[in-house]
Amino acid sequence: MSEIKGKVLSVTGNMVAGDFAGDIMQNEVAHIIKDGKRLKAEVIKIKNNTAYMQVFENTKGIKAGDGIEYSGKMLSVRLGPGILSQIYDGLQNPLPEMAKAFGIFLPIGEEIAPLAMEKIWEFTPLKKTGEIVSRGDVLGFVPEGIFKHKIMVPFNFTEEYEIKKISAKGRYAVKEEIAVIKGQDGKEISLTMSFDWPVKYPITAYKEKLKPSDALVTRIRVIDTFFPVAKGGTYCIPGPFGAGKTVMQQITSRHAEVDIVIIAACGERAGEVVETLTEFPFLKDPRTGRTLMERTIIICNTSSMPVSARESSVYTAATLAEYYRQMGLNVLLLADSTSRWAQAMREISGRLEEIPGEEAYPAYLESRIASFYERAGLVRLKDGEVGSLTIGGTVSPAGGNFEEPVTQGTLKVVGAFHGLSRARSDARKFPSIDPLESWSKYKSFIAEENVKLAKEILFKGAEVNQMMKVVGEEGTTVEDYVVYLKAEFLDNVYLQQNGFDDVDAATIKERQEYVFNVVCKILKKRFSFSSKDDARKFFYELRHNFIDWNYKEWQTEAFKKQEKIIAGSIAG
């Protein structure tokens, strides 16, 4: 524990300036002492002998002369078994435990251990006495839900160590010693099942970082087919308020083919967070048949909380996600909404009196956004296993303006852009991803020539639609009108999904490939209609038959029967 102390010099909102005598470091945790309470803060700037700290609590009542204690430790999270299914705040305090201990209104200056240190786990060793290990090497594992939670050598250990002692298979508490290792200096180090890691430093205890290539199947057709996301890739979902960003994230977290889902509510509105907290523990996991919460972690900070808490939640979520990636698991991190995080940075930057950039955001906004998304990736671990961390962030540009700094800074670093449309949302077209504005740098599992054909139909159909708004339907040819109907057909039967239907809400990879081939046959087919009324009637009936097909279980008799009806109408 550091012995360095100081006094408060000034208070500006959640920004406190204090002096110190000795050596401190940036991102160090400090505590401001007020009426016996210890208010947690993080040092974010040091100038001469003044430390500027963002306080994670309400600073009401703090005044010049109050005491400060500098911890000598970086802002960190505790890593170990028991993280899954937890609901944390941005500082990794378990919120359900906080509510039990203190009630609905949480007092300032209180903390609770993020892991149940007394909980017993069934430990199985994988190493023996005398073996040489280094950071990230697996000493053993404990079962955590459906996963093997690997107990690893702490990631901050920079040299090789000899195992002097390792516990036999048995039941141990998190706080109990499970191994003793000896460093090259001859010192012995006792290891438990848990250790700390600073949240603003990426975990890099792997062998190599690979280029993401395989598509992450989200089971959302418009994403998987047209704007795919890669395992270990990045994507963003910008859109105006009410366009369905939170709904998109909840559907993705439920159906995406990943092992672990981490939701970082880094400053969303309280109502949406409450909905997530109340629904997730009772949602059925389509993959396991158990509750979805068993493989989910929620980091919860709303826009009503201090700005510094919003910022910390982003880094806490990223660190927990990297930790489970180190176990060879596929992790999906969903941040909602990064705009609130950026607004928190803007507020803190203003209080530090830094030179502002565009729209008063800090000049380093883009580098901060980039450093967050760069923590995603596909990695090969030391034991040969491969783990992935995919990061998807929502952006809430005011008025749906995609030219604002946060959206533009995000677009420069992500691999896919799923732009939500207010017009599509108002028309009840879900998902409301705009197929004309969205894009992806990743490769879909659908044949490239078919995707290209479908996109061309969508663009041509949009052009015909715009033309009809000027000259009317009667001013277009039958051929152009058929192109418009094909685009509308593709939109209605494939781009849209019914989230309330158990079958249509999520479409597996094999079904997407099969159905899209049928859709493309229709898009390629040259129809001969005598009038626009005939064309409209044909596509109206075909659309309803296709939507009915979407509601049939994959490869059942009902599915095959409906397919024959569609084939007959096309052939006729």
Q: How far is CA 248 from CA 36, 256, 392, 396, 454, in A?
A: 45, 11, 11, 14, 23
How many other CB atoms are found less than 10 A from the CB of residue 112?
Answer: 14
Same structural domain for residues 259 and 345?
Answer: yes
| pLDDT tens digits along 65-74 | 999 999 999 9
| pLDDT of 1 higher than 60 | no
What CATH number does the domain containing 61 carry? Answer: 2.40.30.20
Name the strand (E) or helix (H) holding 371. helix 365-373
Each residue of 75-131: pLDDT tens digit? 999 999 999 999 998 899 998 898 899 887 778 888 999 999 999 999 999 999 999
Give me the pLDDT at residue 271, please.
Answer: 62
* 342-398: pLDDT as tens digits: 988 998 999 998 999 999 999 999 999 999 999 999 999 999 999 999 999 999 998
- Regarding whether 165 and 222 lie in a shared domain, the answer is no
b/e code 523-555 from CB counts within 10 Å (16+ = b): beeeeebeebeebbebbeebbebbeebbebeee
Nearest-angstrom CA–CA distance, 231 and 213: 7
Asked if 428 and 271 count as a contact pair (C-beta separation under 8 A), the reply is no
To which residue do tokens 């057709």 refer?
221
Tally Cβ neighbours within 10 Å of residue 128.
8
Residue range 191-205: average pLDDT? Answer: 96
- Return the pLDDT at 269: 62
| Residue 282 clears pLDDT 80, i.e. is over it | no
- From the list 420, 305, 491, 382, the residue with the least C-alpha distance to 133 is 382
| Residue 284 pLDDT > 90 | no
Query: Does 374 lie in the same domain as 244?
Result: yes
Amino acid, single-letter form, for residue 567: A
Look at residue 47 and tell me if it is in a domain: yes
Residues of the binding site: 239-246
Backbone angles phi, psi at 218, to 5 degrees: -90, -15
Q: Which of 414, 440, 466 is the last residue of a domain?
A: 440
305, 385: one domain: yes
DSSP bridge partners of 181: 163, 189
Residues 240, 325: one domain?
yes
411 exposure class (CB count in 10 Å sphere: 0-12, 13-18, 19+) = middle
Q: Which residue did the predictor score with more confidence, 266 or 178?
A: 178
Q: What is the pLDDT of residue 344?
A: 87
Contact 484, 465 (CB under 8 A): yes
Q: Are strands 330-335 and 296-302 parallel, antiparallel or unpaired?
A: unpaired
Q: Say if 103 falls within a structural domain.
A: no
Among residues 48, 74, 100, which one ends one of the domains? 74
Give mean pLDDT, residues 539-552.
Answer: 97
> How far is C-alpha 134 from the chain's CA centre?
30
> 347 is written with which tokens?
């507020």
Q: Give CA–CA dist 401/405, Å, rounded.
A: 10
pLDDT of residue 104: 78
Read off the pLDDT band of 497 (50, 70, 90). Answer: very high
* Helix H or strand E encompassing 566: helix 557-571
Give the containing element (helix H, strand E) for 536: helix 532-550
Positions at the binding site for ATP: 239-246
d(CA 394, CA 371): 16
**How many beta carbons lie within 10 A of that of residue 111, not counting itself?**
12
- Is residue 333 a part of any domain in this protein? yes
Distance of alpha carbon 169 from the chain centroid:
35
Among 440, 473, 497, which residue terminates a domain? 440
Q: Is 201 within a domain?
A: no
Q: Which two tokens stand for residue 311?
A: 């910022």
The DSSP 8-state label assigned to residue 290 in this structure reads S
Task: Quickly tell me which residue has 């760069």 as its tokens.
Answer: 374
Give the number of other CB atoms < 10 A from CB of residue 174.
Answer: 22
Rounded distance between C-alpha atoms, residue 457 and residue 470, angstroms: 20
| 262 and 295 in a common domain | yes
- Asked, for residue 221, whether it belongs to a domain, the answer is yes
Q: Output the domain CATH number for residue 497.
A: 1.10.1140.10
Pairing of strands 5-12, 67-74: antiparallel
Residue 272 pLDDT:
67
* The pLDDT of residue 556 is above 90: yes
Same-domain check for residues 385 and 433:
yes
**473 and 513 part of one domain:** yes
pLDDT for position 288 = 81
The pLDDT score that the predictor gives to residue 268 is 65
- Looking at the structure, do residues 413 and 456 belong to the same domain, yes or no? no
What span, in angstroms and rounded, lies between the C-alpha atoms of 236 and 369? 12
Among the listed residues 525, 551, 41, the one whose alpha carbon sits nearest the alpha carbon of residue 312: 41
Summarize the chain as % helix, strand, coil (round to 5): 35, 25, 40
Domain containing residue 144: CATH number:
2.40.50.100
- pLDDT tens across 393-421, in order? 999 998 788 999 999 999 999 999 999 99
Residue 375 CB neighbour total at 10 angstroms: 22
Q: Both 59 and 127 in a single domain? A: no
**Which pLDDT belongs to residue 270?**
60
The model's confidence at residue 245, banded by pLDDT at 50, 70 and 90, is confident
d(CA 150, CA 129): 18
- Measure the N-to-C terminal CA separation of the chain; round to a whole number of Å: 81
Q: Tell me what pLDDT residue 276 has.
A: 73
Give the Cα separation of 439 and 236 in Å (integer). 11
Specify whether the CB–CB gap between 181 and 159 falls below 8 A: no
Please say whether the beta carbons of 509 and 445 come within 8 A. Answer: yes
Mean of pLDDT over the chain: 93
What residue numbers bound the domain in which 122 lies?
A: 113-195
CATH of the domain at 238: 3.40.50.300
d(CA 420, CA 401): 11
Q: What is the pTM of this model?
A: 0.95
Q: H or E segment at 551?
A: none
Please give the Cα distance from 149 to 382 (Å, whole number): 16
Q: Token pair of 153, please? A: 């050598």
Domains in the chain, number: 4
Q: Which phi and psi angles does 373 have, rounded to 5°? A: -70, -25
Of 124, 138, 135, residue with least CA distance to 167: 124
Per DSSP, the chain holds a count of helices (H) and strands (E) of 14, 28
CA dihedral 78, 81, 83, 85 (to 10 degrees): -170
Enter the DSSP assignment of 477: -
Place 304 in a pLDDT band, splitting at 50, 70 and 90. Answer: low
Same domain, 409 and 460: no
The answer to whether residue 89 is domain-embedded is: no
Give the DSSP letter of residue 329.
-
Q: Is the pLDDT at 138 greater than 80, yes or no?
A: yes
Does 241 score more than 60 pLDDT? yes
Return the pLDDT at 303. Answer: 58
User: Distance (Å, rounded) from C-alpha 234 to C-alpha 238?
Assistant: 13
Instruction: Clarify whether residues 480 and 429 are in a common domain.
Output: no
- 34's tokens: 């007020």
**Residue 80 maps to a domain:** no
How far is residue 229's CA from residue 437's CA, in Å, rounded to a whole number? 16
Residue 550, domain member (yes or no):
yes
φ, ψ at 238 (rounded to 5°): -85, 150
**Residue found by looking up tokens 């009806």 in the block:** 565
Q: How far is CA 161 from CA 137, 167, 183, 188, in A?
A: 11, 17, 5, 9
